[in-house]
């Protein structure tokens, strides 16, 4: 095992060079003390890191799904939005085109969809080109702060319409740039809609093909005919989503590039709700999208149409090659609501039904619903987490009582399912059975995170394994995602690799942020708007650990007088060229250049210079962040490692994490 041997350092006495760059920027001192990392690379040394080591945590927070990874462009497509069901509902962000003398817009409860009865009612008062504006009157939807419409791409429109009119009605669907009101696409015209053929709810569909690019477009539905028109479940989806599964391409790729081995979902607090009624109720999120009621996520304070529901999250995990980890609602909410023990059985049944939906046979009750969604094969479903963050001291006893009931029922029906408790077993063993326990860590201070690498050293090896299911530096040291925070997290991950005999899973939180959101959690791993995205430094750190899952953790010893560096070594087979590499990762959390001798013993062949590389994540200022204007300010830079050998001296830049990938 690695042993970190620090001596009390006399850092200030060993500088050979001092240049102050700018206020707050690095001071480029070089320490003349050379640290040594001795790696045992012999074939039988080391121990496997679990295959599930690095994963991702998708929570519906910051518009991660609705207005993010889920590519649906219409926001509040069923007009049920707002704070819950009932009429009047909020039609926000829909807007009315035309003044009150031309059109009257309201909602009523006449929809054909039983679980979401609200429909939009438009009473058109003008008639024909003389009294209506040339472009007509109607409604428009800006999506989630503007729809990204791109030249040459196709978009599928689906909506439900009902008409009451004395003659034929024309209805036009178009996409416009918000600035010049220029039509972006071939307009779909539904003409000759009459009382006869549209007096009942009718599904209409069409493809809009874009003639231009505008990242801030609106969908418009307009007419110039006097009539009463009802609209419901209006959807516009780009055709180019990942495998046609509805995932926005660029965001999907960014997650896939992390090579996550598991996907925890759908929260987080999102699962619980501030009030239980606003928690994630998976049964309301499956089946035909038109029939999903949607819900107001009252913790992160936005409406979701639930197009990205339980099925889609399972599909996402499968598409990523990741094992799904479903966090289910255990009858406890963020605001402290909880069901009585006597009323827990519906929640237990709900959890069992969810498991059956995910992995049951297509002939089972819930497995057949999954099969009807074109996924007859069971998902590779192995883990559930009983709630999220409920085992706080004031709740602990209640949580444990409930946990037992869930545990018992699930293990009886599905002995193979691995169950995650959210009580902290890091210091004292849990008093209840579990396969893993959740551990969340959000220090305000990066030094705190940097020095947390030994947090599980004393955790019992006899009990459940550790799932670090949420970690991040937050607040001042992190802001929107700084280099400094990311380096502290890299040191933390190096520490977790070292004790991956007990830490089996780790994922950062939160994964996504739509930067237009008004009520948001920062920092996050991936930031985006309607058409752009970038990784924060914390995202790039995760990429540097993406080969760790299933790799061999090699025994190594770091001898150093610096208290700013940590290092580890793994052996792995590259997914790119299938060759065996040895990866040494080093974090320098100080302002000096550190010299490090890396010696590798026990290899059957020498390190090869060709294909050996060095990848460095650093920047000129430790507080640097990425942004839309500078998305690549803090990203890993890869170069050939010219002096690659079994015994080499390397320089480690101040405030950096470096990955040396040595072909062996």
470 near ligand AHR, judged by CB under 6 A: yes
Stretch that binds ligand AHR, among 266-274, 345-353, 526-534, 624-632 (CB under 6 A): 266-274
Determine the Cα–Cα distance for residues 293 and 306; give it in Å rounded to an integer: 8
Hey, CA dihedral for 294, 297, 298, 302, is it positive or negative?
Answer: negative
467 near ligand AHR, judged by CB under 6 A: no
489 near ligand AHR, judged by CB under 6 A: no
Tokens of 661: 């990938």
Q: How many CA atoms lie within 13 A of 500 on its CB side?
A: 30
Query: Secondary structure of 341-389 in the HEC alphabet?
Result: HHHCHHHHHHHHHHHHHHHCCCCCHHHHHHHHCCCCCCCCCCEEEECCC
Nearest Cα residue to 392 out of 419, 415, 424, 370? 424
Nearer to ligand AHR, 103 or 334 (CB): 334
Q: How many residues bind ligand AHR (CB under 6 A)?
A: 12
267 near ligand AHR, judged by CB under 6 A: yes
- With CB under 6 A as the contact rule, the residue among 71, 73, 269, 351 that binds ligand AHR is 269
For the chain, how big is the Rg over CA atoms in Å?
28
Exposed/middle/buried for residue 171 (C-beta within 10 Å: 0-12, 13-18, 19+): buried
Nearer to ligand AHR, 299 or 569 (CB): 299
Tokens of 651: 């320089």
Determine the Cα–Cα distance for residues 147 and 628; give it in Å rounded to an integer: 17
SS3 614: strand
- With CB under 6 A as the contact rule, the residue among 136, 273, 387, 510 that binds ligand AHR is 510
517 near ligand AHR, judged by CB under 6 A: no
389 near ligand AHR, judged by CB under 6 A: yes
Nearer to ligand AHR, 201 or 442 (CB): 442
Nearer to ligand AHR, 334 or 567 (CB): 334
Nearest Cα residue to 54 out of 659, 471, 556, 442? 471
Q: To the nearest whole angstrom, how small is the minimum distance from the Cβ of residue 312 to ligand AHR? A: 19
By CB under 6 A, the residues from 68 to 107 that bind ligand AHR are: none
- With CB under 6 A as the contact rule, the residue among 308, 521, 528, 545 that binds ligand AHR is 521
Helix pair angle (483-498, 537-544), 10° resolution: 30
Nearer to ligand AHR, 389 or 661 (CB): 389
59 near ligand AHR, judged by CB under 6 A: yes
Give the x-and-dash track for 9-48 against ligand AHR (CB under 6 A): ----------------------------------------
Q: To the nearest whole angstrom, how small is the minimum distance from the Cβ of residue 470 to ligand AHR? A: 5
Which DSSP category does 631 fall into?
T
Q: To the nearest whole angstrom, how small is the minimum distance from the Cβ of residue 360 to ligand AHR? A: 28
List, as one string, the DSSP characters of 508-532.
-S--EEETT-SS-----SEEE-SS-
The region, left, alpha or beta by phi > 0 then psi within -120 to 50, assigned to residue 192 is: left
590 near ligand AHR, judged by CB under 6 A: no
The residue whose Cβ lies closest to ligand AHR is: 268
Tokens of 348: 């237990």
Exposed/middle/buried for residue 630 (C-beta within 10 Å: 0-12, 13-18, 19+): exposed
509 near ligand AHR, judged by CB under 6 A: yes
Tokens of 42: 């012999």
Nearer to ligand AHR, 188 or 509 (CB): 509
Nearer to ligand AHR, 46 or 268 (CB): 268
Nearer to ligand AHR, 509 or 551 (CB): 509
- Residues 656, 616: contact at Cβ < 8 Å? yes
Stretch that binds ligand AHR, among 264-272, 425-433, 580-588, 656-664 (CB under 6 A): 264-272
Residues that bind ligand AHR (CB under 6 A): 59, 61, 267-269, 388-389, 440, 470, 509-510, 521
């Amino acid at each position: 095992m690695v042993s970190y041997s620090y001596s009390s350092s006399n850092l200030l006495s060993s500088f050979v060079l001092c240049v102050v760059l700018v206020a707050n920027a690095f001071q480029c001192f070089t320490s003349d003390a050379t640290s040594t990392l001795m790696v045992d690379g012999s074939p039988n040394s080391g121990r496997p890191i679990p295959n599930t080591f690095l994963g991702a945590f998708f929570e519906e927070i910051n518009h991660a799904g609705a207005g993010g990874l889920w590519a649906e462009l219409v926001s509040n497509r069923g007009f049920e939005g707002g704070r819950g069901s009932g009429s009047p509902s909020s039609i926000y962000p829909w807007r009315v085109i035309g003044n009150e003398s031309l059109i009257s817009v309201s909602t009523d409860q006449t929809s054909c969809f039983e679980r979401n009865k609200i429909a939009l009612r438009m009473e058109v008062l003008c008639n024909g080109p003389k009294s209506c504006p040339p472009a007509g009157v109607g409604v428009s939807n800006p999506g989630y702060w503007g729809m990204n419409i791109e030249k040459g791409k196709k978009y599928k429109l689906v909506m439900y319409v009902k008409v009451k009119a004395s003659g034929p009605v024309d209805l036009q669907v178009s996409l416009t740039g918000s600035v010049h009101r220029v039509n972006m696409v071939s307009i779909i015209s539904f003409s000759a809609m009459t009382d006869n053929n549209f007096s009942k709810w009718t599904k209409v569909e069409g493809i809009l093909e874009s003639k231009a690019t505008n990242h801030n477009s609106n969908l418009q539905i307009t007419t110039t005919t006097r009539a009463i028109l009802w609209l419901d479940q209006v959807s516009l989806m780009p055709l180019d989503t990942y495998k046609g599964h509805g995932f926005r391409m660029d965001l999907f790729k960014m997650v896939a590039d992390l090579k996550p081995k598991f996907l925890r979902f759908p929260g987080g607090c999102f699962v619980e709700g501030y009030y239980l009624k606003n928690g994630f109720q998976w049964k309301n999120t499956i089946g035909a999208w038109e029939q999903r009621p949607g819900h107001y996520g009252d913790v992160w304070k936005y409406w979701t149409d639930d197009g990205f529901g339980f099925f889609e999250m399972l599909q996402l995990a499968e598409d990523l090659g990741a094992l799904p980890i479903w966090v289910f609602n255990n009858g406890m909410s963020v605001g402290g609501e909880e069901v009585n023990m006597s009323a827990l059985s519906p929640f237990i049944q709900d959890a069992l039904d969810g498991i059956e939906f995910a992995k049951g046979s297509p002939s089972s009750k819930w497995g057949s619903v999954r099969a009807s969604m074109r996924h007859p094969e069971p998902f590779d479903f192995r883990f559930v987490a009983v709630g999220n963050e409920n085992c706080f001291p004031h709740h602990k006893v209640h949580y444990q009582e409930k946990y037992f009931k869930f545990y018992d029922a699930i293990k009886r029906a599905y002995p193979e399912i691995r169950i995650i408790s959210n009580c902290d077993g890091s210091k004292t063993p849990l008093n209840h059975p579990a396969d893993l326990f959740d551990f969340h860590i959000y220090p305000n201070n990066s030094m705190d995170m940097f020095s947390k690498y030994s947090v599980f050293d004393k955790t019992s090896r006899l009990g459940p394994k550790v799932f670090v299911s949420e970690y991040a530096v937050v607040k001042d040291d992190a802001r929107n995602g700084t280099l400094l925070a990311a380096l502290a997290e890299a040191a933390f991950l190096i520490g977790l690799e070292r004790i991956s005999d007990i830490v089996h899973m780790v994922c950062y939180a939160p994964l996504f942020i739509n930067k237009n959101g008004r009520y948001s959690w920062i920092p996050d791993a991936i930031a985006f708007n309607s058409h752009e995205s970038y990784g924060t430094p914390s995202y790039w750190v995760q990429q540097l650990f993406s080969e760790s899952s299933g790799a061999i953790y090699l025994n190594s010893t770091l001898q150093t007088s610096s208290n700013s560096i940590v290092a580890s070594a793994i052996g792995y087979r590259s997914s790119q060229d299938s060759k065996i590499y040895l990866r040494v990762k080093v974090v320098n959390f100080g302002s000096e250049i550190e010299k490090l001798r890396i010696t590798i013993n026990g290899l059957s062949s020498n390190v090869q210079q060709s294909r050996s590389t060095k990848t460095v994540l650093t920047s000129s200022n430790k507080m640097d962040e990425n942004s839309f204007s500078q998305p690549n300010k803090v990203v890993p830079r890869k170069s050939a490692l010219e002096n690659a050998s079994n015994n080499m001296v390397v320089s480690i830049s101040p405030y950096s994490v470096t990955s040396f990938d040595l072909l062996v």
